[in-house]
Structure 1
Amino acid sequence: MKEITKEIKNKKLFLLDIDGTIAFDSTLIDGTLEFMNRVLEIGGKYIFITNNSTKSIQDYITKFEKFNIPVDETSFLTSSYATALYLKEKYDEQLLFVLGTNSFVKELKGFGLKVTEKIEEGIAAAVVGFDNELNYKKIENICELLLTRNIDYIGTNPDLVCPTSFGFVPDCGAICDMIEKAVKREPVYIGKPNPLIVNMALDSTGFKPEETLVIGDRLYTDIACGINANVDTAVVFTGEAKMKDLKETPFKPTYYCNTIKDIYEMIR
């Protein structure tokens, strides 16, 4: 673990978290645009690997077009996308109860999955995402299902908080913690730190693990994900993680720096 160095000049595939790493809500962090342009200049590729399941890939494309960052469908691997692949493989044709945003529900339906937001017969699993449209009725419904039926329980990501321009708001992990207090059950999480997203990026691009750098602001998801996938990692201190956290964490990044601008300076 060391401060970011020019050693990263051999990196070609940059896997970036979004919230707290390159942006807060609709505001880019200083240096982000310069970094993205430089990655393209050196023949590299950036892919955004986010645990934020409130938006579909198409939603993110629309958002990033407003940032003036060149993106397409291959530029994003989200926890909702990874969860949809997992659910399609394990529960195809079975009914799934979903606690999540309208965008998340729409994305799951786009994969041909049978989903409901109501208590019905024949539900095979309950799925929870980061839901900024949450209401108490949704909480009541999933608690009833998990307490009265022997069904599987899946969460998109274990993040406790999501960075915002004013600080943090509860993320999927915090929502699931609240549910756990009532039902005494924890979900199986699909997003980071599960290495699935990194492996998908490597498979789709053809870059090698040694050419890859995971960049994020959370140690227990972003950095742990890179460690689990055996690729180098860099933590930035613009989101959840702070310098003091590096002393105690079991998830030691390869590199650390203050902001994405520091990484740009090293590959400039």
Structure 2
Amino acid sequence: MKAITNDIKNKKLFLLDIDGTVSFDATPIEGALDFLAEVRNLGGKYVFITNNSTKSIEDYIIKFTKMGIPVDDSSFLTSTTATATFLKQRYDEQLLYVLGTKSFVNELRKYGLKVTEEANDSLKSSIVAAVVGFDSELNYTKIENICELLQTTNIDYFATNPDLSCPVSYGYIPDCGAICNLLKEAVKREPVYLGKPNNLMVDMACEESGYSKEETIVIGDRLYTDIACGINAGVDTAVVFTGEAKYEDLKSTAFPPTYYCDSIKDLYIALRD
């Protein structure tokens, strides 16, 4: 674990978290645009790997284009992508109950998954698993529905990501992990998380890009998701302190990064010099 150096010039595939690492809401963090331009100048590739399941890849393309960042379909891997890939392999043609945004539900359906947001008696016996995402459209009816399912049936239980909070311009809001902790207090069950720190997104990015794990680095602002994900995948990592993680956290973390730096601007300087 050391401060960022120009060793990262040897990297070709840069896997970046979004919220708290590259931007806050729709505002790029200082140095982000320069860093991404330098990656392109050096012939590398950046892919954004995010646990935020509220937006589809189409949503992200629109958002990043407005921020002035060149992107296409290959520029994003989300916890929705990882979750949908896993569920398709395991539950193809079987009915899944989903707690999440309309965008999340629609994205799962695009993968050919059979999903419902209803938990009435006529459907309950056919549901084989419950899936929870970061839900900015959460209401108490959704909470009651999934609580009933998880206590009156023996269905499997998954969630997109364990993040407790999501950084926004004014601070933080509850993320998927916080929603699942709320449910845990009622139903005494915990989900299997399919996004970061699961290594699935890193493995998918390497396979799709053709870059080796030695050429890959994960960059993020959370030790227990972003950095743990990189460690689980066997790639180098860099933590930035513009989001949740702080320098003092490095003293006690179970997920020490390869590198640390104040912000993505420091990564740009390391690439440039």
Q: What TM-score does the superposition give when structure 2 sets the normalisation length?
A: 0.97
The corresponding residue for 1:60 is: 60
The corresponding residue for 2:171 is: 167
SS of the equivalent of 1:104 reads helix
**Aligned 1:246-257 pairs, distance under 5 A:** 246-257=250-261
Does 2:159 match 1:155? yes
Q: CA deviation at 1:56?
A: 0.8
Does 2:269 match 1:265? yes
Deviations 1:201-256 (A, max 9, x none): 11011111111110000000000000011110000000000001000101000000
Q: CA deviation at 1:159?
A: 0.5
Which amino acid in structure 2 is aligned with residue 219 of structure 1?
L
Aligned equivalents of 1:88 and 1:208: distance in 2?
26
The corresponding residue for 2:16 is: 16
Which amino acid in structure 2 is aligned with residue 184 of structure 1?
K
The corresponding residue for 1:231 is: 235
Q: CA deviation at 1:156?
A: 0.4
Aligned equivalents of 2:8 and 2:114: distance in 1?
44
Does 2:210 match 1:206? yes
Aligned equivalents of 2:189 and 2:113: distance in 1?
24
Aligned equivalents of 1:113 and 1:226: distance in 2?
28
Aligned equivalents of 1:213 and 1:112: distance in 2?
32
Aligned equivalents of 2:202 and 2:157: distance in 1?
23
Aligned equivalents of 1:115 and 1:208: distance in 2?
35
Aligned equivalents of 1:150 and 1:38: distance in 2?
51
**Aligned 1:1-268 pairs, distance under 5 A:** 1-119=1-119, 120-121=123-124, 122-268=126-272
SS of the equivalent of 1:158 reads coil
Q: Percent identity of the aligned residues? A: 69
Q: CA deviation at 1:51?
A: 0.3
- Structure 2, gaps ≥5 residues long: none
SS of the equivalent of 1:112 reads coil
Aligned equivalents of 1:106 and 1:171: distance in 2?
20
- Structure 1, gaps ≥5 residues long: none
Aligned equivalents of 2:193 and 2:116: distance in 1?
20
Deviations 1:71-114 (A, max 9, x none): 01100000011101111111111111000000000001111111
Q: What TM-score does the superposition give when structure 1 sets the normalisation length?
A: 0.99
Aligned equivalents of 2:112 and 2:50: distance in 1?
22
Which amino acid in structure 2 is aligned with residue 243 of structure 1?
Y
RMSD: 0.6
